[in-house]
Structure 1
Amino acid sequence: MAPSAGSRLQFLTILIYGILLVGINIVSSVKACPLYCLDVVSMTCNGTEVNFTSCNCCLAPKGCTLHLADGGSVYCG
């Protein structure tokens, strides 16, 4: 017996709703970072110097400080 038009419509509705929910979850987990880099010479996280540096706070872990070439620093909180 072939499925009725009503059951196909329900299936399509549920399928589209599911696709939208998955799409919203994917978009909300994406982080957009600005396309600029600071002149970072070192980075400390929780008071400990780390081996790698990030070029801006968007790319650095929370709680890290970027130490700049001009002597300044930026806290990534």
Structure 2
Amino acid sequence: MARCSAGTTACPSEVARAVHAARGGSGDGWRDLMEPVRQAARRLAADGELEITQNGVVVDPSRAKGPVRLRPVR
């Protein structure tokens, strides 16, 4: 997320893929990181460091259904 430009968002799967690649992983092992990425996103949102959005609107992660995007708070 630190690589995101101000105001841009990332899909949680993009974050999982980036972490997986940074660890030297290949293939679809990134899928195992999806829940840890979601948990980290919820913690960062609770700390005010990250916003979780749907259709550009900040949502409560405990109530969000469907695809979300992650946006760093700068």
Higher relative contact order structure (alpha carbons within 8 Å, sequence separation ≥ 6) = 2
Structure with greater strand percent? 1
The TM-score bracket by the shorter chain reads under 0.3
Higher helix share: 2
Structure number with larger C-alpha Rg: 1
